[in-house]
Structure formats: structure tokens, C-alpha cells
Amino acid sequence: MESHWAGIIAGIGEDLERPGLVDTPKRAAKAFEFLTRGYHQSIDEVVNNALFPSDSNEMVLVQNIEMYSMCEHHMLPFIGKCHVAYIPTGKVLGLSKIARLVDMYARRLQIQESLTSQIAETIMEVTDAEGVGVIVEAQHMCMMMRGVEKQNSLMKTSAMLGSFRSDQKTRDEFLALLQLRQ
């Protein structure tokens, strides 16, 4: 990957021997590996058996999970937050595992629509929940730095599964709880 970064830098007309750029291909390769580390993680590895028996059948909501991803079309970042809710049916997922699952999918080349669905489907599969709701809000550098250059645009996507899709009261509760954020 390092040689590819060197080619890109040379391709834009920069001098790879310039002091500030001598180690840039190596640093860029290392950074890109970090930014796409989700490809080297699995659901089982991330969850790590952190499912716990619980009698709770009320909504569990984790909101404002910071997330950083890369647009698969332009290889530019999109940055935002993810809100995940589910209704357990006998087991709950360790709190940090929800954020780790968000990160696992976000650290891949993505479109926001797919990211939102992947998170929801995985939470549903792992927890065997009655329902799952996921909302992602993000700003896309491909909209802000190039093309239409719209600085205040915010994309919101949602995925509602199970009771979050079929039961209006469940969906309304989820959306109402999100209004509590400051």
C-alpha cells in the first residue's frame, strides 16, 4: 500500500524527496489500514460472548455513538453519530459491544445507507431482539469539500426492524427518546 501512496503523491505533482513528504507514503498506508480495520474484524470477535441473560423487555437505547467512515465513491470521510435501540428477549448485549459493532462496519468503505442497515441487521441477529432501530446522522466530506460544496448538509438514514417497523408506538418511543439529546 505504501508504494501506491507514493504513486498518488507523485501523480499530483509533489516531490517525494521533500522533507515533509519523505515518510508520508508509510504514514498514509498505516493510517489507511487503521481507517479500514473493519475488514479484519468479525461479529464473533467484536461481540466476544458479551451477551447476558436479562428479564428486561424494555427498550435499550445507546445514542450519540461517534462514528467515522469512508465514502466508497470518493474515498473521503463521512463523520457523524449513530443511535441504536433494541428490545431484548431474554438477553442483552454488553454496552461497549454496540459501539464496537458500529465501528466495525464504519471502518470499511461504505455508503451510509448500507452502514445503517448492516448495524441494525447485526444487532437483531446477535441479540435475537424483538426489534431494532438505528439512525445514523453524518456529514459527508464528498459533499462539503468537492462537488456541490454544501457545508451545512446532514444526511440521516434509518433502519427499523421487527417491532420498530411493525409497531408505531415502539417507533414513536424511539424517536421521542432521541429528542432528549442536548
Catalytic-residue membership of 112:
yes
In the set 33, 73, 113, 125, the catalytic residue is 73
In the set 41, 121, 139, 142, the catalytic residue is 142
In the set 82, 83, 110, 112, the catalytic residue is 112
In the set 71, 83, 110, 118, the catalytic residue is 71
Catalytic-residue membership of 71:
yes
Catalytic-residue membership of 125:
no
In the set 83, 137, 140, 173, the catalytic residue is 140
Catalytic-residue membership of 182:
no
Q: Which residues have a Cβ under 8 Å from the Cβ of 117 and sit 6 or more positions away? A: 134, 159
Catalytic-residue membership of 139:
no
Cβ atoms 142, 75 nearer than 8 A: no
Catalytic-residue membership of 149:
no
Cβ atoms 59, 97 nearer than 8 A: no
Catalytic-residue membership of 74:
yes
Please, is 39 exposed, middle or buried when counting C-beta atoms within 10 Å of its C-beta (0-12, 13-18, 19+)? Answer: exposed
In the set 2, 41, 63, 74, the catalytic residue is 74
Cβ atoms 154, 144 nearer than 8 A: no
In the set 33, 45, 66, 72, the catalytic residue is 72
Residue where the block lists cell 501506491: 4
Task: Provide the annotated active-site residues.
Answer: 71-74, 112, 140, 142
